[in-house]
Structure 1
């Protein structure tokens, strides 16, 4: 099988690194020639291309790892092999999946995926196959997907090291991702920016602050797109969080030990179950 990964950043780069030695013909597309050269030198791709006009018509599986706004442009500007599979790995689905399906040829199957893995920094140099190992993987289906294609993608993900695979609709995906991915990024940014910088904060932090703010080192262009194009679900998640934060704030203000301890017990029980 001939596989082409489009966009060799952290996720795309991790795909080609995880595919190394798996028996596939792997190619890469990126706008940065140096990135392509690096991936080829490491033996992760057979050849690299600055665009898809030569390799995409020959590709059996195309994995598009671009910003959401660029996925549709790539689909519009390339000719895919009849009978091939095209997928994207971006973090939100609903807002562009319908349009993607309207422009993809009838003889090409489009199925969306979301590897729940990544790093706070961007670029091929931070990619690693280890980010996929034992991570969660989501397949986002639509009515025209064949069961055989869903089964193939599920098995393919396990070859790359993913542990848990969930299959869901684009709406369900975007709702849960607003809570498990986007809300934590909101919290990390807010926590980092709430520092009044009265002290040299870095000299007083422990693991809790370090862990909570790791993802505050954020790719502003990507996450702006993700937040704005999933605002309905994200705002609902933020509001639920605000309600819980208010419970703690009010309990502290009112010297309400029982409410505070009850919240602690609830979170402890839920974390242990998780």
Structure 2
């Protein structure tokens, strides 16, 4: 297994997530951290903070950087990540481990196909953490504490390389690391992430009173925080996973319509039963999560 202290780690993109991951990796004391970002100011700031050892902003510098990196985190949107790997596939260091942080996996795995070199190990990953804020200036590795991290290993992945990634992820603060297929990942994420963003956006969208928060007690803020959305990125995520997302929207619409009917018909007993069932289900979800967390400690 590779040793992090002997490894050069590269980051492609130093936005909110790339920056936070680089900050977290710095605390683990790798050999060096290199980074590529198209924004020179971001690279300069990361250098001045000591988060990275070296940074580049041009394609020539990027090619030289890739040839040195033992581990690379691709912190781009799904289509940009796919285009990046296709364009720079021949520049990766032989034996390098490559991982990504994209919110959908099928579009990448299905389109990379035979482009993947056999002498590198691409292990798809997805940190289930984030913020409504944007950019390197808002990056903070504390967002990873006690969160989930999903890995969707490929049949070609080396077990020792998966273990290497798991060890790094655990040290970043993630307390629950899940391994699954990319198909299951995209199906589940459509519910736990993408549907939630659709609902939050729709809730804000349906109200015209910009002073409505004068009447909130916390619930509105909790539900709609994620409506402060990076529109281009989330549009891409929705479109890349639209089949799974549309299925989840339809399930939600059916549940909402059912409760609407109960309210319209003043079906008090039925609504109490439904809400009681929902409460019990949510409590059970939390108990299962807590049990898994204790098991993984």
TM above 0.5? yes
In 2, Cα distance between the equivalents of 1:102 and 1:34?
Answer: 36
In 2, Cα distance between the equivalents of 1:233 and 1:3?
Answer: 34
Partner of 1:5: 11
Aligned equivalent of 2:46, options 35, 39, 47: 39
Is 1:204 aligned to residue 204 of structure 2?
Answer: no
In 1, Cα distance between the equivalents of 2:51 and 2:14?
Answer: 11
User: Contact between 2:78 and 2:107, CA under 8 Å: does it hold in 1?
Assistant: no
In 2, Cα distance between the equivalents of 1:195 and 1:264?
Answer: 25
Aligned to 2:98, the other structure's residue is in SS state strand
In 1, Cα distance between the equivalents of 2:247 and 2:84?
Answer: 32
Which runs of structure 2 are paired with 1:243-254 in the superposition (5 Å)?
A: 243-254=254-265
Partner of 1:84: 96
Which runs of structure 2 are paired with 1:89-100 in the superposition (5 Å)?
A: 89-100=101-112
**Ranges in structure 2 where 5+ consecutive residues have no aligned partner:** 1-6, 287-297
Aligned to 1:28, the other structure's residue is in SS state strand
In 2, Cα distance between the equivalents of 1:203 and 1:264?
Answer: 27
Partner of 1:14: 20
In 2, Cα distance between the equivalents of 1:163 and 1:231?
Answer: 29
Partner of 1:271: 282
Deviation at 1:101, TM superposition (A): 4.3
In 2, Cα distance between the equivalents of 1:113 and 1:101?
Answer: 17
Partner of 1:179: 191
Structure whose residues are more often helix by fraction = 2
Aligned to 2:64, the other structure's residue is in SS state coil
Which ranges of 4 or more aligned residues in structure 1 deviate by more than 3 Å? Answer: none
User: Contact between 2:22 and 2:52, CA under 8 Å: does it hold in 1?
Assistant: yes
In 2, Cα distance between the equivalents of 1:49 and 1:206?
Answer: 47
Deviation at 1:77, TM superposition (A): 2.6
**Ranges in structure 1 where 5+ consecutive residues have no aligned partner:** none
**TM-score normalised per structure 1:** 0.97
In 1, Cα distance between the equivalents of 2:112 and 2:161?
Answer: 17
Aligned equivalent of 2:83, options 64, 73, 89: 73
Is 1:103 aligned to residue 115 of structure 2?
Answer: yes
> What is the aligned-residue RMSD (CA, Å)?
1.2
Aligned equivalent of 2:164, options 152, 161, 169: 152
